[in-house]
Amino acid sequence: MAGEGRRQAVAVVAGLVWAMAYPGPGIAGLAWLAPGMMWHAALGAGIGGAFRLGYMAGLVQAMVSLRWLLNMPHPAGAMAGWLALSGYCALYPGLWLAWGAWGRGEGRALRPWREAAGAHASLGWPRRMWVPLGAATGWVGIEWLRGWFLTGFPWNALGVSQWRQVPMVQLASVTGVHGLSLLVCWMSVAMAGAGVVLLSRPRERWGWMAEVRLPLLALMATLGWGFHRVMDERRKEREANPRLLKLALVQPSIPQTLLWDPAERDRSFAVAARLTRAALETRPDVVVWPEGDFGLGRENFASMSAELSRAGVEWVFSANDYEEGPGAGRAYNAAFSTGRDGRVSGTYRKRRLVVFGEYVPWAGALPFMKNLTPIGDGFAAGNAPAAFKLAGATASPVICFEDIFPNGIRDHVRGGTDFLLELTNDGWFGRGPAQWQHLANAVFRAVENGVALVRCTNNGVTGWVDATGVVRDQLGEPGRSVHDEGFMLVRVPVGWGNAGDTPYARRGDVLAHACVASMAWMGLRRVMAKRRAT
């Protein structure tokens, strides 16, 4: 490789490859190439050059994978949000490459790539072996930071790209999704390092094997253990012969612009009610509506709850909740359950709110911020999980994008929880990859906590995921889109699992915290070594 232009070209291709690993199109194998390509391009680029290359790759990746933001109903706001969020997310891969360059002892000056590659190839076998693991540690530490800083945006961690590789995703039950991110990055940088050695020392036929031995062994062990865990869970389910809870999931597929329109409230309710009446013919135990009020005013709520009560069916739905207080009081985005008598039996108030979509940050100190969005005062955040008792089973509800926060979902799963119940409205984003990416992220919450996840959405993907991350069923008959209106009956095994009994559910992001601590320790060693040299 020669010249800044070629480095930039590799970074751009790496970002594109990385983006294509997620749904839309979702070629999972490409994720194993992207970190190594970025590391390869940054060799000898210096700290500042490495940051620019990482930012470039991250910007391409974010703009491609988050393109669904452009489908939001307000074009100007959608464009601004897409550019701002993409630019923000790109900072993190930039920091990763800059941290790696600093750890290698590179300064500000640009070195020829061949010289930097030769220096790497000349390292002894033990040192070369640890370089990819150190890079993967840095990746996970910075990835965790993105999911925590400023309330966090953990959407599409690197490991999420592997969501369909069922034996592999079992690792998340121990380490969380960050364990897969570490494994993918470790192997990717190891392969890139092997390529560098092969190019720099072509006569050493097997010298390149030093980098890939450990990650390859870890990958094989992960696959073997994951396959065993899946088979063991299947055996336990067969032997337990659990009761099947019948849930009718209603997907109205109402465009977001119509949900906002007061003139369309009765029409929205009519669609949801029509689908509900069709669902009642399947004799469900519970009917579930997605996030959104769908015209549920006082009269419509009374008529629907009475109809379901006559059928002896329980109901879960979403609506705004209000709490009186000084001044205007507080509003919440909430989920409710009703018993067979039609009375409200459970309430859950959403805990994680969408910035500028459900609340305005710093609105108290900076009142003018409210003028930047149409939401006014927005919502207040709830303060605790809830347990809905549904036909003898226990469900823990989550709303909207709460399911993309790994550590946050741990609070919702306790002993006796039969399944997570997600109500969401992805109709904001039209018909694009957002719905599939949301599902891919949500799958890991089921695996991490060892519990089934039922998803009811306004606009795809409605269905349920078992505790091993397998999508057991989803709405969308052959020849139809998962985005179309409809309903489906799912039968979820209840009363037999050990929800919340996985290592991750008990201990949380121990791996990610260890990676952050390791980065701090390596940084301290680097600073002390530099002082001694001075």
Q: Which residues are catalytic?
A: 291, 350, 400
Helix, strand, coil share of the chain (percent; to 5): 55, 15, 30
Taking CA 358 as the corner, what is the angle to CA 357 and CA 363, rounded to the nearest 5 degrees? 100
Residues 6+ apart with CB under 8 A from 432: 24, 67, 68, 71
Q: How many CB atoms lie within 10 A of CB 428?
A: 21
Closest C-alpha to 489, from 288, 205, 212: 288
Closest C-alpha to 363, from 380, 351, 346, 338: 380
Taking CA 179 as the corner, what is the angle to CA 440 and CA 25, rounded to the nearest 5 degrees? 30
Strand order in the sheet with 286-288: 344-349, 330-338, 314-323, 286-288, 243-251, 486-494
d(CA 170, CA 363): 42
d(CA 379, CA 332): 5
d(CA 210, CA 207): 6
Query: What is the per-residue burial (b if ≥16 Cβ within 10 Å, else e) of 332-354?
Result: bbbbbbbbbebeebbebbbbbbb
DSSP 370: G
d(CA 296, CA 306): 13
d(CA 378, CA 400): 15
Burial class (CB in 10 A: 0-12, 13-18, 19+), 425: buried
Closest C-alpha to 456, from 440, 429, 474: 474
Question: 310 in the Ramachandran plot: left (φ > 0), alpha (ψ -120 to 50) or beta?
Answer: alpha
Strand order in the sheet with 419-424: 388-390, 393-399, 419-424, 452-457, 463-465, 471-474
Return the sign of the alpha-carbon dihedral for residues 301, 307, 309, 314. negative
What is the phi/psi pair of residue 344, to 5°?
-65, 125
Return the sign of the alpha-carbon dihedral for residues 68, 71, 72, 77. positive
Task: Report whether the peptide linkage leading into residue 25 is cis, meaning its omega lies within 30 degrees of zero.
Answer: yes
Q: How many CB atoms lie within 10 A of CB 132?
A: 26
